[in-house]
Amino acid sequence: MHLFSENLAVEIATYYRNVALGHSVVPKVFTLVNGSGSQYLFFIDDLQMERADEDQFLAYIVQEHDAVSYSRGTLVIVEKNQQYIEFAVVDEDDSEAIVCSAELTRDMDDKPIGLSEFEKILVKRESIVFGHLYDPVKLSEEKIEDFESLWEEMKPKILHRTMGV
In this prediction, residue 37 carries a pLDDT of: 84
pLDDT under 50 in the chain at which residues? Answer: none
Q: Is residue 165 in a domain?
A: no
What is the DSSP track for 72-83?
A: EEEEEEEETTEE
Q: Is residue 18 in a domain?
A: yes
Q: Is residue 155 in a domain?
A: yes
Q: Is residue 91 in a domain?
A: yes
In this prediction, residue 81 carries a pLDDT of: 83
In this prediction the pTM is: 0.91
In this prediction, residue 3 carries a pLDDT of: 72
The rounded distance, in Å, linking the Cα atoms of 65 and 49 is 20
Q: Is residue 109 in a domain?
A: yes
Number of domains making up the chain: 1
pLDDT tens per residue across span 54-83: 999 999 999 999 999 999 999 999 988 899
Q: Is residue 13 in a domain?
A: yes
Q: Is residue 151 in a domain?
A: yes
Q: Which residues contact 87 (CB under 8 A, 6 or more apart)?
A: 9, 12, 13, 16, 29, 71, 72, 73, 74, 99, 100
Can you say whether the dihedral through the CA atoms of 103, 105, 111, 112 is positive or negative? negative
Structural domain of 132: 3-160
> Residues for the chain: how many in total?
165
The rounded distance, in Å, linking the Cα atoms of 157 and 165 is 25
In this prediction, residue 165 carries a pLDDT of: 52
CA-nearest of 138, 14, 130, 17 to 67 is: 130
Q: Which 3 state secondary structure label does DSSP give 148?
A: helix
Whole-angstrom CA distances from 85 to 14, 33, 66, 113, 164 are: 12, 21, 27, 13, 25
In this prediction, residue 102 carries a pLDDT of: 98
**What number of other Cβ atoms are within 10 A of residue 17's Cβ?**
16
Q: Is residue 66 in a domain?
A: yes
CA angle 160, 162, 163 (to 5 degrees): 120
